[in-house]
Amino acid sequence: MSVTTLSSPVLAQRQPNWLVRLFDYKPFLIVMCLAPAVGLLSVFLTYPLGLGIWLAFTDTTIGRRGVFVGLENFQYLLTDPLWWNAVFYSVVYTGIATFGKFALGFWLALLLNNHFPFKSILRAIILLPWIVPTVLSALAFWWIYDPQFSIISYLLVDVLHWRSGNVDFLGSPWPARFSLIAANIWRGIPFVAISLLAGLQTISPSLYEAAMLDGASAWQRFRYITFPMMMPILAIVMTFSIIFTFTDFQLVYAITRGGPVNSTHLLATLAFQRGIAGGELGEGAAIAVSMIPFLIFATLFSYFGLARRKWQQGEAND
C-alpha cells in the first residue's frame, strides 16, 4: 500500500492527464458513479412504473397503440366478479399466509436461539426452501397435491387410516386455496425465522437475567422482553413479507394457474392472464395498478402500526 501512495503523486506530476484530473473532480465523479445504477433504475423501473399507470388509462392491446379512455378500465374492473374474486383471495392469501409464516417462523427462530450441537448446519439446512427456485419447489408441491398419487393422501388413507378416500387438494375452490397458502407458508418460514433469529441474537442476555431475578415466568419474559425488543425488526420483515406475498405470482401460476374455475387467482396472476396471455395490455395494467393502494395501505399499516406500538410502550415504561 505504501508503494501505491508514494507513486501516485509522482504519477500525477509526470502525466498531468486531463482525464485523470476529470475523474478526480468530485461532482463529475459522483455523476459517473451514480450513472449506471440510476440509469438502469430509471429506464427499467421508474419509467415502466409511470408507463404502467398511463397504460391503465388506455385501451392498449398487444400490437395496437391505445387511446386514453379515462377510468373505463377501472369502472369495468369494479363490475367484474373475477377481479373482486382475485381481490378477495389476495387479501385472504396474504392475511393467512403472513400470520402462519410469522407464527411458525418466530417459533422456529426461538427454537434456533437455544444452544444445541450442529446448530450452524441446521440453520443452513433450514434456509434451503428459500434458496431453491420457487417454481421448482412449487412443482414438487403440485406433485405432492396430485389427486391420485398424493403422498399426503397415501399417508392419511393407507398408513394412518384416518380417511377413506384421497384428498382432493386442487380440484375444488377452498381446498385449492388452502393448499396454495400452505405452500406459501412453507416457503416463507425460513426467511422469517433467519431474519428474526438475527434480531433475537441482538437482545442482551442481561435483560433476561434481570427479569429472572425479578421472578418473571418464561411467558412473561417472552411477552415483556423478547416481543417488544423484536418490534422494529418484526415491522421491517413483515412489511417486506406482506408486499411480496400480496403480489405473489409464481406459486399460483405454477400450481393451479388460477383454477379451479378461477377461484385461486391472485391479482398478479389475473393481470398476467388478461395482460400478457390475453393481450389486453391496458386492462392488465389496470389490474396491476389496482394492487398499489393495497400495497401502500399494507405497508403503512404494518410499518407504522408496529413501530408506533413500540414507541407507545417506550413512553409507558418511562
Binding to another protein, residues 137-166 (CB under 8 A): 137, 139-141, 143-144, 146, 149, 151, 154, 158
237: contact with another protein by CB under 8 A: yes
- 191 contact partners, CB below 8 Å, separation of at least 6: 105, 130, 237, 241
The smaller minimum CB distance to another protein, of residues 153 and 262, is found at 153
Answer for which of 101, 169, 248, 256 binds another protein (CB under 8 A) is 248
Answer for which of 184, 195, 226, 256 binds another protein (CB under 8 A) is 195
Stretch that binds another protein, among 46-54, 92-100, 168-176, 223-231 (CB under 8 A): 46-54
- Work out the number of other CB atoms within 10 angstroms of the CB of residue 282: 21
The Cα diameter of the chain in Å comes to 89
Report, in Å, the least distance between residue 306 CB and another protein. Answer: 14
In whole angstroms, what is the distance from residue 130 CA to residue 123 CA?
12
Q: Tell me if the bond preceding 260 is cis, omega within 30° of 0.
A: yes
Residue found by looking up cell 373475477 in the block? 82
The smaller minimum CB distance to another protein, of residues 78 and 292, is found at 292
Residue found by looking up cell 399417508 in the block? 155
49: contact with another protein by CB under 8 A: yes
181: contact with another protein by CB under 8 A: no
103: contact with another protein by CB under 8 A: no
Stretch that binds another protein, among 68-76, 81-89, 105-113, 305-313 (CB under 8 A): 105-113
Contact 293, 244 (CB under 8 A): no
200: contact with another protein by CB under 8 A: no
DSSP calls for 154-210:
HIIIIIS---SS---TTTSHHHHHHHHHHHHHHHHHHHHHHHHHHHHHTS-HHHHHH
Contact 279, 61 (CB under 8 A): yes
Answer for which of 103, 212, 261, 300 binds another protein (CB under 8 A) is 212
The smaller minimum CB distance to another protein, of residues 154 and 312, is found at 154
Pick out residues in 250-309 that bind another protein (CB under 8 A): 250, 253-254, 267-268, 271-272, 275-276, 281, 284-285, 288-289, 291-292, 295, 299
204: contact with another protein by CB under 8 A: no
Report, in Å, the least distance between residue 206 CB and another protein. Answer: 11
Pick out residues in 81-100 that bind another protein (CB under 8 A): none
- 53 contact partners, CB below 8 Å, separation of at least 6: 285, 289
